Structure 1
Amino acid sequence: MKALFTYDYGKEKMESIKNLGYDVMIVDEKTIEYSQEMEDVEVLVCYNPFNTLDISKMPNLKWIQLSSIGIDQLPKEVSVEKGILVTNNKGGYSIPMGEWILLKILEIYKESYKLYQQQQQKKWKMNTNLLELYRKRIGFIGTGSIATESAKRLQGFEAHVIGVNTKGTKVQYFDKCYAIDKLDEVLGECDVVVLTIPYTSATHHLINKERLNSMKKDAVLINVSRGSIIDEDALIQHLKEGNLLGAALDVFEKEPLPADSPLWEMDRVLVTPHTSWISEMRNERRFRIIYENMKRYIEKESLFNQVDIVKGY
């Protein structure tokens, strides 16, 4: 059985895949294009080769294992039409992203970014308006693995953790969960709002002008999901009007974030270049899921992290 990888995980790891019984082909994702050698590829392990690789030309492709959690890069119509099974890397980045979320809440509450600026200026100035996380209401819009790892880490701060999911299903580490139709009510209650919901047509601009206005004036907004879940123009205007204590944004409607975006220079906004998922363990966890699923696939067992392409997650 032939498997095409668009990333080389190293000699030892790739040998372990071959030992499962796969004929492994490696082509760099940055330069990949369809070739005759790919005609008999049954398994594609990748992140996003789809700008240059036309999978409709691959007649034997049966399964795509993504190294991402989101699937918005996937050619969905082709995948559905060809009946391709898709699995993702759900859970693979949740721990570093949970740490990042906690870091950014504390950076905003303790205004550490301002202290770093003062240090560079050798300026000694005490700020007596800093906040604590204790008993604050932290709301997660989306209660998947990223939100769960974050909520677990918030337990030590004795914060009140709220979740919003499709039906209000109870999730471990959350004090209470609400159905998505209660979103506006939840937004008005939370001191911190964290977006961890999958990006789909239904969640495009979920956080718009009206929903921003329903949030507390001194709330914190954090986004690690996809940039287009927020109406960015509405957010910029909302911030210009003096709303929100701060925003920590790792994802944007257009990436890289354009140099002329006002978000770069807003003093209450922390911008990071889509790096919340990064840690020294990323390849280990990513490969662990890939290996286990490839073992299951060749043994004709059910795969982990199967995605509903129509739903988008």
Structure 2
Amino acid sequence: MNLLITGAFSGDEEFYQKIKKLGYTLFFLQDEKIMPELAGIDSSIIDGVICNALFLYNDIKNFTSLKFIQLTSAGLDRIPIDYIRAHKIELYNARGVYSIPLAEYTIAGVLQLYKKSDAFRILQAEHNWKKQRDIVELYGKTICIVGCGSVGTECAKRFKAFGCKVLGLDIIMFDNIEFNEIFPIEQAGEVFLKSDIIILTLPLTKKTEHFINKDRLSKMKQGTILVNISRGKIVNELDLVEALQTNLGGAVLDVFEEEPLEANNPLWECNNVIITPHISFIGNNMQRLKALILSNIESFV
């Protein structure tokens, strides 16, 4: 079987050899934005792909022999899901691979805001011994996690360890011991009113685009911290900027409606916002990803 591997595993000979032993012939495309044909690869002979955003830039219809896709991301918003289902193409994602670094990033971001870390770094650079009195405890806070899957569960574990009450919102009701209670997502407004910290881990779909808008932001209580580690388009950024100037206490943002974040975006000027360039998934997780991929493509063979 012919397998196309894009960017992420460039030069990883040990990984390549393990795949070859499963019976695959390998093709490589470093830049997902170019057509495989420009790299001397015939798209029509490819049986499987390991990729991230290949089908944002290449028409999947050119891959006429395609039987399976292994994504290196957890999200499914960068692929033509209806076409994949209609053509019975097997689809695997990287569910669970990035959950630990995402959860750790969330804890770190919230604590950075609560403990005024940025203010103290500035004072340190100035050699200025000045106390900050408006420091907040995480203990006893109510957390709302929107999306109770793998990432949400890892977040819940960590906040519970800090003595927080953890509430969940999801489209599916199920038991999860890491949450004190899970509510239908339709009750978002009601749960937001109770929450000190709101964490977004839900997938981006047509229904969840701008899920966080002026109406839902207005239902968040004074001082609420909003964390987005999912997809930028889940939040209406203009509405968020307004809320950051009124009722929100701050935001931790790793994803944005347009990336890179433009220099004139008003979020840059909000001093109660932590901005990072979509790095919350990064950690010591490459071995987990490789193991998952090998398991999936072996089971397909």
What is the match of residue 228 of structure 1?
Answer: 233
What is the match of residue 305 of structure 1?
Answer: none
What is the match of residue 6 of structure 1?
Answer: 6
- Which stretch shows the higher mean deviation, 149-158 or 180-189? 149-158
Give TM-score, length-normalised by structure 1: 0.91
1:39 aligns with 2:41: no
Query: Which amino acid in structure 2 is aligned with residue 24 of structure 1?
Result: L
Distance in 2 between residues matched to 1:77 and 1:167, nearest whole Å: 21
- Compare relative contact order (CA 8 Å, sep 6+) and give the higher one, 1 or 2: 1
Deviation at 1:135, TM superposition (A): 1.1
What is the match of residue 200 of structure 2?
Answer: 195
1:17 to 12, 16, 19: 19
Deviation at 1:87, TM superposition (A): 1.4
Query: Which amino acid in structure 1 is aligned with residue 189 of structure 2?
Result: D
1:250 aligns with 2:254: yes
For residues 95 and 18 of structure 1, do their structure 2 counterparts lie closer, same or farther at Cα, with a shift above 3 Å needed? same
- Which stretch shows the higher mean deviation, 203-212 or 281-290? 281-290
- Percent identical among aligned pairs is 36
Distance in 1 between residues matched to 2:85 and 2:174, nearest whole Å: 29
What is the match of residue 260 of structure 1?
Answer: 264
What is the match of residue 184 of structure 1?
Answer: 189
1:270 aligns with 2:284: no
Deviation at 1:31, TM superposition (A): 5.4
Deviation at 1:116, TM superposition (A): 1.1
**Which residues in structure 2 correspond to 1:89-128 (within 5 Å)?**
89-128=94-133
1:87 to 88, 92, 99: 92
Q: Check conservation: 2:29, 2:36, Cα contact below 8 A.
A: no
Query: Which amino acid in structure 2 is aligned with residue 198 of structure 1?
Result: P
**Helix, strand or coil for the counterpart of 1:274?**
coil
Query: Which amino acid in structure 2 is aligned with residue 179 of structure 1?
Result: P
1:28 aligns with 2:15: no
Distance in 1 between residues matched to 2:33 and 2:212, nearest whole Å: 36
Deviation at 1:6, TM superposition (A): 0.6
Query: Which amino acid in structure 1 is aligned with residue 50 of structure 2?
Result: V
**Helix, strand or coil for the counterpart of 1:50?**
helix
Deviation at 1:30, TM superposition (A): 4.0
Deviations 1:203-245 (A, max 9, x none): 11111101101001111100001111111111111122x3211
Give TM-score, length-normalised by structure 2: 0.94
Distance in 2 between residues matched to 1:170 and 1:188, nearest whole Å: 23
Deviation at 1:198, TM superposition (A): 0.7
Distance in 2 between residues matched to 1:261 and 1:108, nearest whole Å: 21
Q: Check conservation: 2:201, 2:229, Cα contact below 8 A.
A: yes
Deviation at 1:77, TM superposition (A): 4.2
Q: Check conservation: 1:29, 1:46, Cα contact below 8 A.
A: no
Distance in 1 between residues matched to 2:123 and 2:249, nearest whole Å: 19
Any unmatched runs of 5+ in structure 2? none
What is the match of residue 293 of structure 1?
Answer: 296
- Which stretch shows the higher mean deviation, 14-23 or 120-129? 120-129
- Which stretch shows the higher mean deviation, 13-22 or 26-35? 26-35
What is the match of residue 242 of structure 2?
Answer: 237
What is the match of residue 208 of structure 1?
Answer: 213
1:68 to 56, 59, 73: 73
**Helix, strand or coil for the counterpart of 1:183?**
helix
**Which residues in structure 2 correspond to 1:110-189 (within 5 Å)?**
110-189=115-194
Distance in 1 between residues matched to 2:289 and 2:172, nearest whole Å: 30
Distance in 2 between residues matched to 1:297 and 1:27, nearest whole Å: 22
The size of the alignment, in residue pairs, is: 296
Runs of 4+ in 1 over 4 A off after TM superposition: none
Query: Which amino acid in structure 2 is aligned with residue 26 of structure 1?
Result: F
**Helix, strand or coil for the counterpart of 1:118?**
helix
Q: RMSD between aligned alpha carbons?
A: 1.4
Distance in 2 between residues matched to 1:110 and 1:199, nearest whole Å: 31
Deviation at 1:175, TM superposition (A): 0.9
Distance in 2 between residues matched to 1:94 and 1:206, nearest whole Å: 22
**Helix, strand or coil for the counterpart of 2:113?**
helix
Distance in 2 between residues matched to 1:150 and 1:104, nearest whole Å: 12
- Which stretch shows the higher mean deviation, 187-196 or 52-61? 52-61
